[in-house]
Every structure is written in C-alpha cells, then in structure tokens.
Structure 1
C-alpha cells in the first residue's frame, strides 16, 4: 500500500478520516498489520478504549462511530492499520476490509493531552 493509495481510501467514513489524511500529507508514518481480526473482537477492545478515554478525559476522534460500526459488522474479518502524526500527538487506527482495499473506519485517541472534541 502506498501513501497515495491510502490517502484515496480515507474519505469521510468517520470524523477521524480527514485528520488522518492530513497526517499523511504532513509526512506521518503508516502501515497495515498482517493478519485478520474478527470485528466483534475489535468491538469489545475499542468499546473499552472509548470508555477509558472518556473516563480519563482524553480527546478522541471518530472512536464512538467506529465502535458502532464494529458492533454492526459482527464476525466479519478486518485488517488493522495505523497512521502516526509527525508530532506524535495523535495515532490513528484504521479498520480496513479483509483485502485492505477499503477503509471502513478510522479512529484516534490523543497521545498528548487535548481538550475533548
């Protein structure tokens, strides 16, 4: 996957996709992990991350929308990707279809303290 290819796949799936595109344009690093993960497993993991972020007052982008999407996808197999901003303030998690040809959702929790969006 090329940066341009990933850039084209990041549209408006969730509110985090625009900032993830900007991170790529600004020289952020990215990748896609090998292997497939069932959406229902990801749902439980990211629902917990959302609750913890809310409890700690961490800013999030697209996380609530992504959790809802993962819940609806049930046991569909997905690939997980990532984009890190150059300033390391945000790390975006990408949820792609099994062939890594479509971004289904994008979410992020601030790595540094930001006000809640």
Structure 2
C-alpha cells in the first residue's frame, strides 16, 4: 500500500485519525499487515489495552472509541496497520476492512512518557 493511498483513507473515523495521518505524511514508518482477524477478537484485545493504559496513566487517542467500533463490527474480518511517528512519541494502530480499502478505526498510544491525568479514552 502506498503512503498517499493510506493518507486518503484516514479521515474522521476517530479523533486519532488526524494525528495518524499527520504522522504518516511527515514520513512516519507504516505497515498494513496481510491477513485478517475477527473484529470481536480485536475488540477484546483492545478493551484490555484500554484498561492497562488507564491504570498506568499512559496517554492514548481514541482508544475507547476504537473499542466501540470494533465491538460494533462483530466478527467482520479486519486487517491491521500501524503508523509510528518519526520522533517515536506516538504509535497508531489502524483497523481496515478485509480488502484494505477503508479505515474503520484508528487509535494512538504515547510511547514512553506517562501523564498524571490518565488516558484520553474518547
């Protein structure tokens, strides 16, 4: 997948998509993996990550919203992608349809630092 094509797909699915798009266009490393996983299984995994990040006070972007979208997608097969900011400050996980033609959700997690205010779970 080309960087420009992925950037076009990152719209307003979640509040993290804009930051992910900016990181991508600034030259951040990215990958969209082959294969799919059921949305329900991904929802379970990311619900647990939400609990851990809140407990640790690790800043996130749109993690709760992404979990909700994954739950609504039920057992639909989804592909997973990732974008890493060039400065290493944030990593974004993308959830795409099985054909990788549309981004359904995007979440970001800050790497390294922790915030005393906890995670932004919107």
Per-residue CA deviations over 1:26-52 (Å, capped at 9, x if unaligned) read 110111111110001000000000000
Secondary structure of the residue aligned to 1:106 is strand
Q: TM-score, normalised by structure 1?
A: 0.96
Q: CA RMSD in A?
A: 0.9
- Partner in structure 2 of residue 77 of structure 1: 77
Q: Which runs of 5+ in 1 are unaligned?
A: none
Secondary structure of the residue aligned to 1:94 is strand
Alignment of 1:78-97 (within 5 A): 78-97=78-97
Per-residue CA deviations over 1:39-96 (Å, capped at 9, x if unaligned) read 0100000000000000000000011100001111110000000000111111100000
Verify: 1:60 aligned to 2:53, yes or no.
Answer: no
Q: TM-score, normalised by structure 2?
A: 0.92
Structure 1 stretches of 4+ with a deviation exceeding 4 A read none
Secondary structure of the residue aligned to 2:31 is strand
Task: Kindly state the Cα deviation for residue 20 of structure 1 after the two structures are TM-superposed.
Answer: 0.4
Task: Kindly state the Cα deviation for residue 114 of structure 1 after the two structures are TM-superposed.
Answer: 4.7
- Partner in structure 2 of residue 32 of structure 1: 32
Q: How many residue pairs align between the two structures? A: 117
- Partner in structure 2 of residue 101 of structure 1: 101
